[in-house]
A and B are shown apart, each in its own frame.
Chain A
Amino acid sequence: MLGAIFRDALKNLSSNLLRSGLTMLGVIIGVASVIAMMAIVEGGQVWLVSSIERLGTNLLFVWKKRLTIEEKRMFAGRNLKLRYDDALAIRDRFPELQVAPIIQIEGHVKAGERDYSGRITGTSPEFSPIRNFHPAEGRFLQQSDLQTWKRSAVLGKTIAEVLYGSKSAVGEQLKIGEHRFTVIGVMEPKGEVYGQDRDEMIFIPATTALRFFKGDDKIRSMVIHVPNRKQMEEVTHKLHQFLIQRHDGVDDIRVRNQGDFLGAVEQTIWTFRIVLGGVAIVALLVGGIGIMNIMLVTVTERTREIGLRKAIGATRQNILLQFLIESTTISVIGGCFGVILGIIAAYGFGDFVAQSMPGGGDWGAVIEPEAIAIAFVFAVSVGIGFGLFPAMKAAKLDPAEALRYQ
């Protein structure tokens, strides 16, 4: 009997294709938006997490907090700012940590006829292993470069190409501002990480940067590698306390580990999930209301048929099932099309992001089987849920009246 009811449902739906199609459209859009939105959010999460992980693993980031004018006045005269000394002190106090200070200056680089204006990074040899970013040619900075304020420069891949074309840059001379530097290495290509193009970086010794370009010993930030991941929280705390102590008791720095970033990302992603998921679910519910609407019309149109079926022996359950199967068929077929459309939309959006967003190159849509399952189950539930009321209405019809319905 179920087979016969199902065949009837298909026949009825196909006898009014336009109407069935339009009704399905609501479900299709609902399911497609659930899948596409979930895929995009998951893709975003994968992208963000991998961006953070590509910063290097087991890392701590230290930088200066911005103080309010009030705080600045209050703490006037105390030893504030993040200084090169701080980095050295951390190295003395916590010998197991690798510390890379980061100084950033804007500079004009000139090599023969070619030049380049941009950001130059002063740092220490630790930067390379910490960030898992290695020279492809020549070498990275060494301690001796820092000790003697060497004017050595390591170029990112793109910079090396801009300044020297295809010929090898190692050993060449260049000028940064007024100062003459020797290229000692060219980095491997790394591409964009977290919105920063690694191939456009120029590295010089931290001490050289301070002495020739800054005139003080303020550094922008520090990247610190902690050997044991389990100690991250503990080290974060200790380091923070140590720096507060060095800064005459003023807490003017931030120490963050990757876990903190990942946590923040996770939170943001959840916000997106809830907002976008909510929108998608509303779309599905609207689709469900469309089903209910059409099923009510169908029940009214087929009142005489229902009366006849009851007269020749259909039970309430038979009639209920007949109309429920019809509404569920709409939602199942709509759900299938919705899944297909959702996958297409998700990949389409992934491509769109990859092409239009800087650094979005590897933001692909991530379609989890769970997302498809959830959307599909939800669509079917909507079909059953919103089909139930019209079906019950049909099942409850009085046979004598239904037979003579005009």
Chain B
Amino acid sequence: MLITLRHIQKIYNTGEVEVKALNDLNIEIEQGEFVAIIGQSGSGKTTLLDILGCLSHPTSGDYWLDESHITTLPDSELTTIRNRQIGFIFQTFHLLPRKSALENVQLPLMYAGATRLQQQSRARELLTTVGLHDRVNHHSNQLSGGQQQRVAIARALANQPALLLADEPTGNLDSQSGSDILSIFEELHHQGQTIIMITHDPLIAQRANRRITLLDGRVLADEPTESPKEPMLQEN
């Protein structure tokens, strides 16, 4: 099992009000799965992703990622795990301004301690796989949204993470660019990459192989997605 969550709770304390963002969550995810997380706004999707990505601690509960008991580890080790085991993709891309595509992809490699030469050749290679070999020296403000998100994917894959986390990766994109991104995800999935993706769009969730629905911080449904859409269209 790649991921095991046991009785995960996350409580935000904003002054007098206590918000139970996650309430006794139990989820297991296997190596190689492509999971879509859906749910209403405020249902706790991003909160869950933060915990899965070791960006924040749950208030209580246990989390194992690939043998590591995350909930017992100090911050310094979580940093290493984020760097080596996890790749993040955000709705707003989060590319650093004033840096080229290449430099953005180099960053996780730099923090992993690679030499400059290694960083550059690996980053170039990654940008090629996402189809941006002719855009390596462009800055983020010179790239379209879809291109920026592809740079972000390249960056997320830099250290060959065990887990790819995406929070509404297509939310800021037109449908064509969004579909391109999903094709990349599907391709990665075929190569055995574990992917967890938050989305609002049921059609996009359909392209994953498992769908977890959250409601008020609990799992409402956890099921395999029906057979992909294209074959259905063909049947009709």
Which B residues between 63 and 108 are near A, CB-CB below 8 angstroms?
75-76, 79-80, 82-84, 88, 90, 94, 96, 98, 107-108
Please tell me if A1 contacts chain B, counting CB pairs below 8 Å.
yes
Q: Could you say which of A312, A318, A398 contacts B82, with CB atoms under 8 Å apart? A: A312
Shortest Cβ gap from A129 to chain B (Å): 75
Instruction: Determine how close the nearest CB of chain B comes to the CB of A302; give it in whole angstroms.
Output: 9
Interface membership of A314, Cβ < 8 A: yes
B221 within 8 A of A: no
* B44 in contact (CB, < 8 A): no
Is the Cβ of A313 less than 8 Å from the Cβ of B50? no
Whether the Cβ atoms of A309 and B56 lie closer than 8 Å is no
Check if B55 sits within 8 Å of A313, measured CB to CB.
Answer: no
Which residue of B56, B83, B96, B116 contacts A313 across the interface (Cβ within 8 Å)? B83
Residue of B nearest to A401 (CB): B56
What are 6 sample pairs from A and B whose C-beta atoms fall under 8 A apart?
A1-B113, A4-B110, A312-B88, A312-B111, A313-B83, A313-B112
Give the number of residues in B that approach A within 8 Å (Cβ atoms).
25
**Which chain B residue has the least Cβ–Cβ distance from A404?**
B46
Decide yes or no whether A193 CB sits under 8 A from chain B.
Answer: no
Contact A403 B108 (CB under 8 A): no
Chain A contacts for B96, CB-based, 8 A: 305, 308
Is B55 a contact of A399 with CB atoms below 8 Å?
A: yes
Which of B84, B90, B159 neighbours the largest number of chain A CB atoms within 10 Å of its CB? Answer: B90
Cα separation A312 to B79 with both chains bound (whole Å): 8
Q: Dominant SS at the B interface? A: helix
Kindly provide the distance from the CB of A148 to the nearest chain B CB, expressed in whole angstroms. Answer: 94
The chain B residues found within 8 Å of chain A, CB to CB, are 50, 53, 55-56, 75-76, 79-80, 82-84, 88, 90, 94, 96, 98, 107-108, 110-113, 116, 155, 159
Does A11 reach chain B (CB closer than 8 Å)?
A: yes
In the bound complex, do residue B111 and residue A400 qualify as a contact, i.e. CB atoms below 8 Å apart?
A: no
Determine whether the beta carbon of B107 is less than 8 Å from that of A315: no
A15 sits at the interface (CB 8 A) = yes
- Which residues on A sit within 8 Å (CB–CB) of B90? 403
Residue A12 interfacial (CB < 8 Å): yes
Q: Are B88 and A314 in contact, CB atoms less than 8 angstroms apart?
A: no
Given contact pairs A312-B155, A315-B79, enumerate 6 new A-B contacts (beta carbons under 8 Å). Answer: A15-B98, A309-B107, A312-B88, A313-B80, A315-B111, A403-B55
Residues of A within 8 A of B83 (CB): 312-313
